[in-house]
Structure 1
Amino acid sequence: ARNVYSLFAELAVPIVSPEMNIPFVKAIDMQLAGRVEDYSLFGTVAAPKVALSYRPADWMMFRTAWSQGFRAPNLLQLHQPDFERSNSRRDYAACAVQLRIGAIPTLTTTNDYCTSESRIEARAGNPDLKPEHSDNFTFGLVLEPTLWPREYGALTFTVDYWKIEQTDLVGIFGGNNQLLMDYYLREIGSSNPNLVRAAPDAQQIADGLAAGRAPVGTLLSIKDDYLNLQPRTSEGVDYRLFYNLRDTPIGSFRWSLNVSQRLKLFQEASPDHQVLLDALAAGTISSVTVSGVEDLLRRNGRPEWKASSTLTWTQGPWSVGLYSSYVSDFFDTSATFTGTTDPWIIDAWTTHNLYVQYTFRNDGWMDGTRVRIGARNIEDKDPPLADDRFGFSGSVHSNRGRWFYATVRRSF
């Protein structure tokens, strides 16, 4: 248990208003805000925010903001006793023995010892975790041009650059990296204590002797507790286009397009990560990838582009909506194309949802009732193939095909 006391304050300051008639300045507004929290486990922390907007004309506005963020580890990350997860992993140390005795041509070859299988990962809370901190900066432009009479619709376009620098990010070293560490340490005559193995059987002992290495027993579980990672930097640009056309002879239309481009996602290496990176550079270990560190853009569920579009038509009690979603391709570093060292590319994915609804109005006891019938993933598209437990990247894609639904909602 823990106690948290919070206080938030915000002040809006209109520095310049239109009534002042200052040339090239329609309005300047400032926002000053702050949050103070007191944690029984961490003490007191403050998170300030400053935002500023400048509107030189009615149809244009520049905006920027700087703030700090704070997130305390949750109680599970601090105190959860061991719990188990199952992930598909390859036992590199056992596989390296097969490579040394000539049973396989490369470390990525599959045999009884090298198959990527479900491995038990035991994770536990860490009471020594420090809270996460972040510095956040944004700068953007809002355009609301009046290129045509209002009856032909209103157009809004926004573009915002953002940057987030995080420190003491709560995470894990990673089961794959734990296996790589064991692979490296066994190459230099040691082993990773975070891996629990059974005693080697007769065949494993014989293979170890033939390879000139200590025998590698069957992997039972991987210990991978929560820890504070090194700093992470994220940068990106968000675009939004919104068009609203109301009260035409054939109804009202609303269309919005949201596009997000991630420019940078860089995770600094921890001392253990650096050990693996140096071993890889020196050739002590080979044909493997150290995951979750350095450049993470377009890798393992982190696409560069995401986009969504919503188109809505309304005429009287009737409405029709079309929603489209797009995710760009990215690399799956746990798999390679056959005969190469090129990582597997998980293809871009686009899906569409559609609904039709009717709202009862001035109709007695049915007044205010909305009936909607719709379908998700109307093209019944399968998710792109990935080297994951169920064959797709669950953090980005869904294996749910086309499915229909109906809802009834009544407002009182």
Structure 2
Amino acid sequence: MNHPMHRPLAAAVTLCVAMLALDAQAQQPAATDLDRVEVTGTRIKRAEMEGQVPVHTLTRSEIERTGLTSIGEVLQQLTGSGSALNAKFNSSGNFGFPPDGSGVGAGSAQIDLRHLGAKRVLVLVDGIRWVNESSASGVGSATDLNTIPLAIVERIEVLEDGASSLYGSDAIAGVVNIITRRSFDGGQVTLNYGQYGKGDGTQRGVDLAWGTQGDRYSLFLGASWTKQDEVLARTRAQSAFPVPGTGLALGSSATPDGRFVFTDPNTGITHDLTPNSGVGSPAFNGGAGCERSDDYHCFGTADRFNFAQYNMLLAPSERKGLFGQFRFDLTDSVQWYVKALGNRRESTNQAAPEPLFFGPDGATGNPLADNIVISALNPYNPFGFDLDSSDNLMMIGRRPVEGGARVFQQKVDTSYVATGLTGDFRAADRSWYWDVNGMYSRNKAEQTNHGSYNIYNVNLALGDPALCAATPGCVPLDIFGGAGSITPDMLRWIQPVVRDRSQNELSVFSANLSSELFTLPAGPLAFATGYEYRRYEGSYQPDPLTVIGHYNGVPSQPTSGSYDVNEAYLELSVPLFADSALGDKLDLSLAGRYSDYSTFGGEFTPKYGLRWQVTNDFVLRTTYAEGFRAPSIGELYGSAARADLQLFDPCSVGLGGTPPRGSAANCAALGVPGGFQQANSQISVTTGGNRELQPETSRSFSAGFVWSPWFGSNASWSERFDVEVTFYRHHIDGAIQAINAQTQLDLCVDTLDPLYCDGITRATTGAVSSFNNRLTNLGSIKTDGWDVDLFWTLPQSAAGQFKLGWQNTFVGRYEALGAAGQRQPQKPGVEVADGAIPEWSSNASLSWTLDNWNASWTVRHISELTEDCGDAVAFAVCSNPTEGTNRLGAITYHDLQVGYKLDWMKGLQLSAGLNNAFDKDPPICLSCSLNGYDASTYDIPRGRFWYLRADLRF
């Protein structure tokens, strides 16, 4: 794609290089050694903060202005951030297990940059990578930012550019570098309290900090406690039903009273029944047997189950953390440091009571449920004949509300210790900077699941009563008598407590050296080089019940694995000219990193950049980088996993009798009879790891400028004025993923190609009975866009001082292709799979200070989106039923904060804030899995949140 920025930049760079031979400048003195720093995006210590790559820095005051208490929540408000897990995801239950083997990530907070996925963002703490998350249900491949207390953060630097040449694997989409507090003298106590306008979701926290400094040492200690209460979905109108505006039509067919679809072997009539004790009415399909004189009637929409009543809009959590950092000057030029952190996160997710599906149309993927025989001798079987999955049983859906909701409780313990030496020395008439570092970190998680079922015991309890009687503890099960028919004795036999465990470990040793090699006519040629060794170990140990296949789901096996990597890198900063007619300065940066993995071998990644200081107030810069992401332990070694996804079968008659979307001939060829209607829209999709996976590779390009015009500095209307514009482009090849399940199902029906149909099997009824798509290195992901930022500081006046920051991201292209070139549904302006790619995201913040007063007003804007209506196309809530799409309107949130500082002790700062001040509801999402909105993009419905903060320094 040709972009207007390319031609002038390319011409300028060509001209600069051509003029280099003519530019015989006098030898310049070496840059001063004072205030040399290392900025994210380069390993070379330099005096200039504005490098070749755009780095967005969030200061501590900017973080506090958000009123948020999680690093993940703060970063997810960046305009370049994509969809990622947070506390608004009630992410256990039907979200299932993602195909990368990482588990559900319940309770975690992640960061996605450029919509390329959280696992393609590298998270560093003080320049050293952080351990991946542990969810207790898999081996994570992304970082859980809730394992790092916000209280220990000094600032956060975000590089939204490929950086594998400097930092290694995972830095495809960018790097987040969290800088911890170290130079602190005295104490600090911070108290937080907040609540949503409806009186729920209460949040409170206490942060403690203390530090001291001497001539040769510094010590910082921090402690943090944060507790977040839940918000229940049933308390908001938008999330009180499965899909807003559709009532019970898209509710579950697994109901407290039960749904029974079978053929009577005595009459040959197929029935679709539910007990009269329910709330439904007869004549759902008008077929034979609908008018009945017994205790059952034909299943209808009014009988469906509203599972949304049990969901959460905001998951409760409690985080407790301790952090310490000690630094000691061994000599005038050598410093030793040691850091340690301990953090515990306890969180809870909740889903509706777990459904029991039986028969081929239940499509659970578990043979104990799909191939069940319910004996005619079962004392509760009212039909007088066997219900046999291989003969006359199509589906039974029963939701034992007697056993309560599914509750998933996580405990995640993070431990971290690091030590090292940093120093400098003089040699060959120049300064040399060096450091050696060692780090070990571990995330260990336990998840306890209440409310699930032992499908093996269920099978026994529904089968031959003689076999049940011969099994100690077995009690015959009544799934036919309606809600309340399952007794406590029955529950004790079928309802276990399931406990899963997992952990991730990371060990790192690194050594780095930076200096200047020699002096060129335009200045010193600087370099940085280093070596890094990393070892990853991860494991997932499911409950023994799950391992043997008795859990009410797909059997899962333990996962464990490890690998290590040795790496070396070199970075050069080459001055091409200085004080020339072509500009003040032109620097070329070169970097390369070689990585040797024990799993797949070696990989080399280069990076090139130019920084052209055209004038004192105008900088042009551009970079090109190649990168890679090594497959994670879960992706390599993960066992079979399951996700229960809302999928719409193209061969199915739609709600209201709309004809199938798919070709009748193709559907017949797949064994789907005419008039087939999908009984269960939740289809279990299984996947798993692949030891043959190769690394993803990427190419990244950025180009832009920074302009700080002279007329905007120290002028009557402006103290400082800056404009920053950056074009970005990322191209990933061999992306590790499974094809989007809905896309695969659609393509199978449309093409009958085995590439898509292999792994999808159908029962004799025509329903999808199993769906398997494995991880592989699929096609490509391409995305590009623009960042346009403006910063304006007004002069101090009698009215105080105002500062304006306005940041914008425009996504021009996002294209994901499968291995055979099949287009995935993600693209700009589209909502799909609980994730959005807005074409325009914008944050504007106006801050004001006057004496002891301060205030801020932040405006967050998300442009409009469209989505497929799916089965909701028959309802008025679908805004464009002709095209089968729904519009999610643009939304703008307003956040306010005001504060006053009292001159007591070293200062008492009091602040009050209101986020989503006008109580804007998110746009209704018909395709989202839960709660009727996209939890990764918007605030919760009725989401006005007020908070108070007191910060005392002493």
Bin of the TM-score, shorter chain as denominator length:
0.7 to 0.9
Tell me: CA distance 1:398–1:194, structure 2 relative to 1, closer, same or farther (3 Å): farther
Pick the aligned partner of 1:347 from 874, 889, 903.
889
1:175 matched to 2:175? The reply is: no
Partner of 1:10: 571
Alignment of 1:317-328 (within 5 A): 317-328=852-863
What is the TM-score when the length of structure 2 is the normalising length? 0.36
State the Cα distance separating 1:411 from its structure 2 match.
5.7
Query: 1:378 maps to which residue?
Result: 917
Q: Quick check: 2:777–2:819 contact (8 Å CA) kept in 1? A: no
After superposition, the Cα gap between the structure-2 partners of 1:149 and 1:383, relative to the gap in structure 1 and judged at 3 Å, is closer
Give the match for residue 392 of structure 1: 933
The separation in 2 between residues aligned to 1:259 and 1:250, in whole angstroms, is 28
Report the counterpart of residue 299 of structure 1 in structure 2: 830
> For the structure 1 residues 228 and 380, does the alpha-carbon distance in structure 2 shift closer, same or farther, using more than 3 Å as the test?
same
Write the deviation string for residues 42-92 of structure 1: whole angstroms up to 9, x where unpaired: 222222222111122222221111111111122222222223223322122
**Distance between the aligned counterparts of 1:34 and 1:333, measured in 2?**
44
The 1:148–1:241 alpha-carbon spacing in structure 2 relative to 1, beyond 3 Å, is closer
Instruction: Give the drift of 1:339.
Output: 4.6
Query: CA 1:139 to 1:188, structure 2 compared with 1: closer, same or farther past 3 Å?
Result: closer
- RCO higher in structure (CA 8 A, sep ≥6): 2
Aligned to 2:865: 330
Instruction: Please say if 1:31 is aligned against 2:589.
Output: yes
Distance 1:189 1:304, change over 3 A: closer
Instruction: Tell me the residue number matched to 2:625.
Output: 67
How far apart are the structure 2 equivalents of 1:189 and 1:261?
Answer: 38
Amino acid of the structure 1 residue aligned with 2:691:
P
Distance 2:621 2:756 in 1: 54
5 Å-filtered alignment, 1:304-319, equals 304-319=839-854
Q: Is the 8 A contact 2:596 2:603 kept in 1?
A: yes
- Pair 1:83 & 2:641 matched: yes
The answer for the alignment partner of 1:104 in structure 2 is: 657
What SS is found at the alignment partner of 2:779? coil
Q: Give CA deviations for 1:235-285 in whole Å, capped at 9, x if unaligned.
A: 2111011101243222222111111111122233432x64xxxxxxxxxxx
Q: Does 1:120 align with 2:120?
A: no
Per-residue deviation, 1:181: 4.1
Q: Contact 1:89–1:116 at 8 Å: present in 2 too?
A: no
Separation (CA, whole Å) in 1 of partners of 2:781 and 2:754: 33
Aligned counterparts, 1:117-196, within 5 A: 117-147=681-711, 150-151=714-715, 152-184=718-750, 192-195=757-760
Q: Contact 1:299/1:332 (CA < 8 Å) preserved in 2?
A: yes
Shift of the 252–131 alpha-carbon distance from structure 1 to 2, 3 Å rule, reads same
CA contact (8 A) 1:355 1:373 kept: yes
The offset of 1:131, in angstroms, is 1.0
| Aligned amino acid, residue 914 of structure 2 | A
| SS at structure 1 position matched to 2:566 | strand
Aligned position for 1:405: 947
Query: Which whole-Å CA distance do the structure 1 matches of 2:575 and 2:908 have between them?
Result: 42
8 A contact 1:90–1:115 mirrored in 2:
no
What per-residue deviation string (whole Å, max 9, x for no partner) do you get for residues 127-168 of structure 1?
222111111111112211122560532111121112212111
1:407–1:32 CA distance, 2 compared to 1 (3 A): farther
CA distance in 2 between counterparts of 1:132 and 1:22 reads 42
In structure 2, distance between residues paired with 1:406 and 1:226? 47
Task: Look up the SS of the partner of 1:77 in the other structure.
Answer: helix
Change (3 A) 1:407 1:40: farther
Of residues 244, 250, 253 in structure 1, which corresponds to 2:802? 253
814, 829, 836: which is aligned to 1:265? 814
Q: Secondary structure at the match of 1:178?
A: helix
Aligned positions, number: 364
**Does the CA-based 8 Å contact 1:91-1:116 persist in structure 2?**
no
CA pair 256-115 structure 1, distance change in 2 beyond 3 A:
farther
Find the counterpart in structure 1 of residue 235 from structure 2: none
Cα 1:52–1:368 shift into 2, 3 Å: farther
Shift of 1:341: 2.1
In 2, Cα distance between equivalents of 1:89 and 1:39: 38
Deviation at 1:332, TM superposition (A): 0.8
Same amino acid, percent of matched pairs: 23
What amino acid is the match of 2:726?
A: D
Residues 3-61 of structure 1 deviation map (CA, whole Å, 9 limit, x = unaligned):
133344433333333xxx42241122222223332222122222222211112222222
Q: Greater CA radius of gyration, 1 or 2?
A: 2
Q: 5+ unaligned residues in a row in structure 2: which ranges?
A: 1-561, 663-674, 874-878
Give the Cα separation in 2 of the matches to 1:45 and 1:375: 49
Distance 1:260 1:116, change over 3 A: farther
Amino acid at match of 1:192: C
Counterpart-to-counterpart distance in 2, 1:15 and 1:328? 43
Give me the whole-angstrom Cα distance separating, in 2, the residues matched to 1:358 and 1:270: 58
Paired residue secondary structure (1:14): strand
For the residue of structure 1 that corresponds to 2:657, the secondary structure is coil
Deviation at 1:359, TM superposition (A): 4.1
SS of 1:2 mapped into structure 2 = strand
Residue 4 and residue 407 in structure 1: after superposition, are their counterparts in 2 closer, same or farther (change >3 A)?
A: farther
Compare 313-322 and 337-346 and name the one that shifted more: 337-346
Q: Could you say what secondary structure the match of 1:357 adopts?
A: strand
Query: What is the DSSP-based 3-state SS (H/G/I as helix, E as strand, rest coil) of the residue aligned with 1:267?
Result: strand
2:815, 2:824 within 8 Å by CA — same for their partners in 1? no
The answer to whether the 8 A contact 2:736-2:776 is kept is: yes
